[in-house]
Amino acid sequence: MDAKVVAITGASRGIGAAAAREFASAGWRVALMARSEKDIASIAEEIGEAAMALRCDVADFTSVQAALQTVVARWGRLDALINNAGVIDPIARIEDADPEAWGKAIDINLKGVLYGMRAALPQMKAQGGGTIITVSSGAAHNPLEGWSSYCSAKAGAAMLTRAAHLEEGANGLRIMGLSPGTVATEMQVKIKASGINPVSQLDPAVHIPAEWPAKCLLWMCGPGGDDWLGKEISLRDEGIRRAIGVIQ
């Protein structure tokens, strides 16, 4: 029962699944949260008793709150929350975008981050501390054709991370972001197929494996992240890559 506890949204694949395995291998208890119940159940079974799978829709605050309450009820605490869930769709120029689809992406990519923070903060403050990391993107800082919803949501989430640090840093909470760069995940497959903007033209060989941001997330939950509170780490930084041990 002394093991630290992490909850990871969007844990059914990609960075989230890799992070679940990375934290578990480091001795953490891991709560995998996603809409894909079958997928997270399979990963949790693979990890073993140190993992639980919780069906969760990050676009629904009640769902997020209930999932985190279940984590605390079972394991007694919540040491880290990784706000990882995200979608790239809809990929469309603004003049062609479906307003409803555009808004649903905001619900996941931006409001989902707020819901995670809002549900985790009371528990973390009550126990005297915790870490909240939001998986960001270069799209938070640079507009890209066809990605107006994704860029807007990621920009909002980056500012939300800074605001949360401003409000809660003095209360023992460690809040920051990670911009992983382009990662070899299913999202990159969709981006490639779209043929829109320069990111879709990238050679898949340049994408880093999901295990790299997973290692960085674990590193950020320890002393390595202390210099980055309220800020955003870029995994394109070779100094960070060396610090987490993925390059020499």
pLDDT tens for the 248 residues of the chain, in order: 579 999 999 999 999 999 999 999 999 999 999 999 999 999 999 999 999 999 999 999 999 999 999 999 999 999 999 999 999 999 999 999 999 999 999 999 999 999 999 999 999 999 999 999 999 999 999 999 999 999 999 999 999 999 999 999 999 999 999 999 888 777 888 888 888 888 888 877 778 899 999 999 999 999 999 999 999 999 999 999 999 999 98
What does each C-alpha distance from 205 to 16, 192, 199, 208, 225 come to in angstroms? Answer: 21, 12, 13, 8, 29
- Whether 79 maps to a domain, the answer reads yes
Q: In angstroms, what is the C-alpha Rg of the chain?
A: 17
- Whether 222 maps to a domain, the answer reads yes
Q: Is 184 helix (H, G, I), strand (E, B) or coil?
A: coil
Strands 80-83 and 130-135: what pairing? parallel
- Whether 123 maps to a domain, the answer reads yes
- Whether 248 maps to a domain, the answer reads no
Residue 206, Cα to own-chain centre: how many angstroms? 21
- Whether 102 maps to a domain, the answer reads yes
Residue 176: how many other CB atoms lie within 10 Å? 24
pLDDT value of position 198: 83
- Whether 106 maps to a domain, the answer reads yes
What does each C-alpha distance from 109 to 58, 84, 151, 192, 196 come to in angstroms? Answer: 9, 9, 10, 20, 20
Which residue, among 203, 199, 202, 245, has the nearest Cα to 222 in the 3D structure?
245
Query: Total domain count for the chain?
Result: 1
- Ordered DSSP codes for 4-62: -EEEEESTTSHHHHHHHHHHHHTT-EEEEEES-HHHHHHHHHHH-TTEEEEE--TT-HH
Contacts of 25 (CB under 8 A, 6+ apart): none
Residue written as tokens 């903060």?
A: 121
Asked if 115 is an active-site residue, the reply is no
pLDDT value of position 190: 83
- Whether 69 maps to a domain, the answer reads yes
Model confidence, pTM: 0.94
Q: Which structure tokens are listed for 204?
A: 């898949």
Rounded to the nearest 10°, the torsion over CA 34, 38, 42, 48 is 70
Q: Domain limits at 227?
A: 5-242
Largest CA distance in the chain: 54
Residues 150, 212, 219, 228: which is the catalytic one? 150
CA distance 141 to 151: 8
pLDDT value of position 208: 86
- Whether 247 maps to a domain, the answer reads no
CA distance 210 to 59: 24
pLDDT value of position 182: 80
We report the CATH number of the domain holding residue 19 as 3.40.50.720
Contacts of 143 (CB under 8 A, 6+ apart): 151
